Amino acid sequence: MKLKSKSLIFFSTLFGSCVLAMSTPNAIAQHAASSGAHFSGQAAYNLTAQLLQIAPKRFNGSPGHEKAEEFIKQHFTAEAAKGNFETDTFTAKTPAGLQTMHNYIVKYPGKKDGIIVLASHYETNYPLRDIEFYGANDGAATTSLLIEIGNVLRTHPPEGYSVWLVFDDGEEAVKEWTFNNGTDNTYGTRHLAAKWSNDSMLSKIKAFIVVDMVGDKDLNIDHDDNSTPWLLDLLQTAAKNTGHSSQVFKYHEPEEDDHIPFAKRGVPVLDFIDAHYGPSTDATPDGYHHTAQDTLDKVSAKSLAITGHVFLESVKQLQSK
């Protein structure tokens, strides 16, 4: 995501036309609620540690980037065998030239027509390739969180809408995240939003939910002013239902992240993000964000458990919409 110290834009007008048909709650919600109990923050944390060991630096075009892709793929061989693992390869035109990128889409078919998408970027920041930048929280923890969500969905498939996991590439700027409507950012999700717009998949998406930076030991999920208002309400309800109200909405601010390309195309979006990561100092106004301090010791299994439970409760709430 963009450095919060520079994020000033609002997209509030984009959401005026987002309407989702309401239907009566049903047994689906109950089933999804029980699924939440199976999510393990410790398992997500262990996966984060493994990913960081295998691929500490995952910037575009690096050996670590490829290793991270292998790491993702090897966790979804069961879905691949069923034809529910899609590799979306594309070429991105970046300030550093053409780069080949990959989004990975893992599909858990449901019984209702419609899709809930959960997304995280997996690469690390390209401009930081020459420092020891590992992105423990910025990429590794949320990639691992999605893998663990996949473990839950594999044994507890959705009975309502389908749930798709998206491991997207190229979220970070290659040179510099330019202000509003810049093209040096969110390469993977911009590509995917355009692709799904062309093949009419976009109209099936009930919500596009992004997770970013939510492994932070000192967890507080922001009220992102660029997210769709009814999804922010839903997040608040999900936090309340899981006993985590104190971990949400301490900060209200607009975030530029992987949800924006979908927001711009009228899809309801939600950014699960904790943009307040570590102490803000003169030298590092954004705390540990995009510094060599973004390491595993700043991430906790407890935070990943809270995020995972609130996340799955949000999916449960969505299933009854």
Pick between residue 138 and residue 224 the one whose CB is nearest to Zn ion: 138
For the bound state, the minimum distance from the C-beta of residue 294 to Zn ion, rounded and expressed in Å, comes to 8
For the bound state, the minimum distance from the C-beta of residue 60 to Zn ion, rounded and expressed in Å, comes to 13
For the bound state, the minimum distance from the C-beta of residue 289 to Zn ion, rounded and expressed in Å, comes to 7
| Cα–Cα dist 158/153, whole Å | 7
Pick between residue 124 and residue 242 the one whose CB is nearest to Zn ion: 124
Pick between residue 69 and residue 171 the one whose CB is nearest to Zn ion: 171
Pick between residue 138 and residue 274 the one whose CB is nearest to Zn ion: 138
Pick between residue 128 and residue 315 the one whose CB is nearest to Zn ion: 128
For the bound state, the minimum distance from the C-beta of residue 308 to Zn ion, rounded and expressed in Å, comes to 21
For the bound state, the minimum distance from the C-beta of residue 85 to Zn ion, rounded and expressed in Å, comes to 25
Determine if residue 287 is left, alpha or beta; phi over 0 gives left, psi from -120 to 50 gives alpha, anything else beta: left
Cβ contact 259:311 at 8 Å: no
Find tokens 């998206």 and name the residue: 166
| Cα–Cα dist 110/72, whole Å | 22
Pick between residue 62 and residue 237 the one whose CB is nearest to Zn ion: 62
For 54, what's the count of Cα atoms within 13 Å in the CB-facing half-sphere?
Answer: 17
For the bound state, the minimum distance from the C-beta of residue 216 to Zn ion, rounded and expressed in Å, comes to 13
Burial 281-296 (b: 16+ CB within 10 A, else e): eeeeebbbbbbebbbb
Could you tell me how far CA 97 lies from the centroid of its own chain? 26
The residues binding Zn ion (CB under 5 A) are: 138
Cβ contact 305:40 at 8 Å: yes
Find tokens 């493994």 and name the residue: 50
Phi, psi values for residue 117, rounded to 5° = -105, 135
Q: Which residues contact 119 (CB under 8 A, 6 or more apart)?
A: 146, 165, 166, 167, 168, 189, 208, 209, 210, 211, 258
Pick between residue 88 and residue 171 the one whose CB is nearest to Zn ion: 171
Which residue is closest to Zn ion by CB? 138
For the bound state, the minimum distance from the C-beta of residue 74 to Zn ion, rounded and expressed in Å, comes to 24
